[in-house]
Structure 1
Amino acid sequence: MDSFMETMEQDTSGVLGHLMALERGGMGRQKQHDSQRSETLKARAVTLRAKRDQLKHHTDVVKTLKDKIVKGLPLRDEDAAADGFVELQKSLLTAWRMQLKDLQRAHHLIGNFAPVKSHRAHCHCRSIVPSLSGGYDLVECKDGKSACVSFHTAFEGVRLETYSVELDLTRAVQISRHNVPPSFPLESLAKRTLQKDLKAFLQTLSQNLNALAARRRQVCLLKELVGSVEVMESNQLCSVLVLMCTAQSEAPKAVLCTLEYGDLAQCLPTRVSIECEDKVLSGSPQWKKNQSLLLESPAHTALLTMRRMGSIS
């Protein structure tokens, strides 16, 4: 019995020893595999960090170049030679072209075209021009390197001036040529919105040019009024208009009406003041009503209404 147990212990220890040896061998290979995998991951992490730093540097360079191009700042030789400069310039040009094409397509799709009369007295034909809701046309030129925008203006169904602005797209969206009046704040408007939002710039410029043409047209119509209305003062932007009227009373009295157009995008004044040596007259309910009329209606229309009401002669 004792010899049988000894034999079993010897066999068991041999099997266990073999198993333990196999386990130790497997653990060793696992450790070696884990070590190799760890080294591979470390090397990959180093490579990825290097690529990350390279991409970060490239992104910073591209961002700096884009800011310079958009702001129209001069570029140095090393800027033009930087990686990605040509691709950036091409992508910006493509983006501006696509935006202009989208604006042109949308403009022609939603712009309502209304028949308006020519302002020339001898011309009785009717022309088709864009309505006030779609006051400009856009055409690509110079193989897409620039775009010409024509701003049509009209007032009370009468076609007025057309202004043109050429936009240079070779580096950044910049105004290269235009026939907008020198007194018009085109440069300040471009600085505020041209680079940030091209659509907003075109819409704002169209609205302001149309309002300018409408105010100028009102001055012309006022000068044509026969009677006791005289245009005393008007600046180039027609942002201030001073009228001298003769009030109907027992003794004719001069009334000075000053119209101030604080919002250049509108053709109606934002402030109207009435002055007269007769303070009772200028402060009367009738002239308070006339003041409101000048605020709510075009100047020539308001004065014709005041004449029909008997306020002025």
Structure 2
Amino acid sequence: MEPANTLRQDGESKGGILAHLEKLETQMNRSHKRFEEPQRAQAEASTLRTRIHKLRLLRDKLRAEVKQRQARIEASAASAEPDQTLETSEQEVLETKRENLKAILQAYRFTGLSGKLTSRGVCVCIHTAFEGNLLDSYFVDLVIQKPLWIHRHSVPVFIPLEEIAAKYLQIDVQHFLFSLCEHLNAYAGRKYQADRLESDFAAFLAGPLQRNSLCNLLSFTYKREPGGQSFPFCARLLYKDLTVTLPTDVTVTYQGMDALPTSWEEQRVSHENLFRTTSLHKVFTSFAGEGGKLDMSLLP
């Protein structure tokens, strides 16, 4: 009987070694992933810095050209007849605005803004994106007259287009387009995060996600572990600034208990900090990747 016992013990020993090796391989794979993510982030940051530097150089060049053109217009106006001066000046101002718009489109073509000249003026197309994902596109058809005005557009009604136009369109077209891009990209980013939460992490949700049209107010109930028996947390995310994709106010409460154990209260506070500093879908990616536990490495 001793040989049989020896074989069984050897088999159990080998099985334990294999299980330990698999555990070590899993830990090594996780370590590699965590090591690769900072490198990828650094590469993306370097690319963005290079792009920003090029755009700034182009911006400075365009500003210099605009100043030269304005100086020529002023010199021409000073030497013209009074009646001709007014007519020529208005025409050249409109022509200058048209050229400025064309230059702006050229400068921003790498940042999601493109367009084409039309018989009335220019049609601008704004392409939104979030974290490298291309999202919806919107257009604004501008008529270059005095004053400038919007002929038609596809901007959602809940984006404050009229307010932005009243503030910037007549005095700074570039600022108008930049502000509109900010609002549209932020809205697209917030909507993308909410859509991802509903589509990819429904198992964590205890009930439907509540959101308004602007996606700047989100509320949902979720469990720390999908399908688990743990009591649910209730989250309320408010984005007061409509040009941001991270919430300005976060409240996480809990249901089912009058008071939480210390460890669970720490989890609640950690969740609030994570929602405030990390994209919504990435928070739940962390939960899923860690078997429902909070990945503390994502905290600032």
What band does the TM-score fall into relative to the shorter chain?
0.5 to 0.7
Q: 1:231 to 1:194 in 2, by over 3 A?
A: farther
Q: 1:222 to 1:103 in 2, by over 3 A?
A: same
Pairing of 1:137-176 with structure 2 (within 5 A) = 137-142=114-119, 145-176=120-151
TM-score, scaled to structure 2: 0.62
Q: 1:190-224: per-residue Cα shift (whole Å, max 9, x none)?
A: 11111121111111211211111111111111111
Pairing of 1:199-278 with structure 2 (within 5 A) = 199-224=174-199, 225-229=201-205, 230-247=207-224, 252-277=230-255, 278=257
Deviation at 1:148, TM superposition (A): 0.5
Runs of 5+ unmatched residues, structure 2:
1-82, 295-300
Give me the whole-angstrom Cα distance separating, in 2, the residues matched to 1:241 and 1:192.
29
Deviation at 1:138, TM superposition (A): 2.5
Aligned to 1:281: 260
Aligned to 2:107: 106
**What is the DSSP-based 3-state SS (H/G/I as helix, E as strand, rest coil) of the residue aligned with 2:194?**
helix
Deviation at 1:302, TM superposition (A): 0.8
Q: 1:75-120: per-residue Cα shift (whole Å, max 9, x none)?
A: xxxxxxx986543431331121121122123234xx3xxxxxxxxx
Deviation at 1:301, TM superposition (A): 1.0
8 A Cα contact 1:286 1:311, kept in partner = no
Deviation at 1:175, TM superposition (A): 1.2
1:310 partnered with 2:289:
no
Aligned to 2:165: 190
Aligned with residue 296 of structure 1, among 277, 280, 290:
277
8 A Cα contact 1:222 1:231, kept in partner = no
Q: Which amino acid aligns with 2:160?
A: P
Give me the whole-angstrom Cα distance separating, in 1, the residues matched to 2:281 and 2:208.
11
Aligned to 2:57: none
Aligned to 2:91: 90
TM-score, scaled to structure 1: 0.60
Higher strand proportion: 1
Moved more, 95-104 or 215-224: 95-104
**What is the DSSP-based 3-state SS (H/G/I as helix, E as strand, rest coil) of the residue aligned with 1:292?**
helix
Pairing of 1:108-123 with structure 2 (within 5 A) = 108=109, 111=110
Q: 1:148-172: per-residue Cα shift (whole Å, max 9, x none)?
A: 0000011232221110000111222
Deviation at 1:251, TM superposition (A): 5.3
**What is the DSSP-based 3-state SS (H/G/I as helix, E as strand, rest coil) of the residue aligned with 1:213?**
helix
Aligned with residue 136 of structure 1, among 113, 138, 148:
113
Percent identity between the aligned chains?
Answer: 28
Give me the whole-angstrom Cα distance separating, in 2, the residues matched to 1:149 and 1:219.
27
8 A Cα contact 1:218 1:299, kept in partner = yes
- What is the root-mean-square deviation of aligned Cα atoms in Å? 2.6
Give me the whole-angstrom Cα distance separating, in 2, the residues matched to 1:234 and 1:258.
10
Aligned to 2:62: none
Give me the whole-angstrom Cα distance separating, in 2, the residues matched to 1:250 and 1:243.
17
8 A Cα contact 1:231 1:241, kept in partner = no
Deviation at 1:136, TM superposition (A): 0.6
